[in-house]
Amino acid sequence: MAQENTAPENGDLEGLENFVAADEMETLRAERDEMRDRFMRALADAENARKRGERDRREAEQYGGSKLARDMLPVYDNLKRALDAASEDTRAQAPALIEGLELTMRELTNVLKKHGVDEINPEVGAVFDPQLHQAMFEAPLPDTKAGQIIQVLGVGFMLHDRLLRPAQVGVSSNNQG
């Protein structure tokens, strides 16, 4: 009869201790392996949380002012309109006022640029890019190709690599060029 791996008989105290010790060792090894696995997972979770926190901090630093920057764009637009509307007569009659507007516009663009806001000012003839431009109209203009910008109605702005406002453009719908 084959002997099974069972507890020793009553009189064999040393065998009993070895049997219990082997059983406990197996239990302890299993617990150790489980604890090691849990520790490694916790370590990985902590590292992922650290990386996520760093990424969130970096994004908040770069893009946290996007609402303020977006709210400043109408100020830019109004200053630009005021400067564009000033006739030669007005420039001659109120040079200090015009200079003040120009200095204010320059300061505003410098502050925006300092905080990562850049103009998107496409040129007439450039190719329309839906990631950067908003088509306000299409027209079949002679000597142009479909998709070419034929008029710039308003500049757009980027905050680092994110679009704040697309440039507003007119696009050619001509099929021949």
Q: Identify the band that residue 1 occupies on the pLDDT scale cut at 50, 70 and 90.
A: very low
The pTM of the full predicted model, rounded to 2 decimals, is: 0.68
Is 20's pLDDT higher than 80? no
154 has which bridge partners? 168
The mean pLDDT value for 74-80 works out to 95
The mean pLDDT value for 147-161 works out to 94
Q: How far is residue 124's CA from residue 150's CA, in Å, rounded to a whole number?
A: 5
Q: What share of the chain is helix, strand, coil (3-state, %, to 5)?
A: 55, 20, 25
The mean pLDDT value for 113-126 works out to 94
pLDDT of the residue at 49 = 95
The mean pLDDT value for 121-143 works out to 94
Whether the Cβ atoms of residue 171 and residue 138 lie closer than 8 Å to each other: yes
Is 5's pLDDT higher than 60? no
Instruction: Say whether 90 sits in a helix, a strand or coil.
Output: helix
Instruction: Tell me which of 3 and 108 has the higher pLDDT.
Output: 108
For domain 117-177, give the fold.
Answer: Nucleotide Exchange Factor Grpe; Chain A, domain 2 (2.30.22)
Is 6's pLDDT higher than 80? no
Q: If phi over 0 gives left and psi between -120 and 50 gives alpha, with beta otherwise, what is residue 84? A: alpha
Instruction: Tell me which of 58 and 157 has the higher pLDDT.
Output: 157
Q: How much is the mean pLDDT over the chain?
A: 88
Q: Which is it for strands 149-154 and 167-172: parallel, antiparallel or unpaired?
A: antiparallel
With tokens 């406990």, the residue in question is 24
Is 177's pLDDT higher than 80? no
Amino acid in the structure at residue 127: V
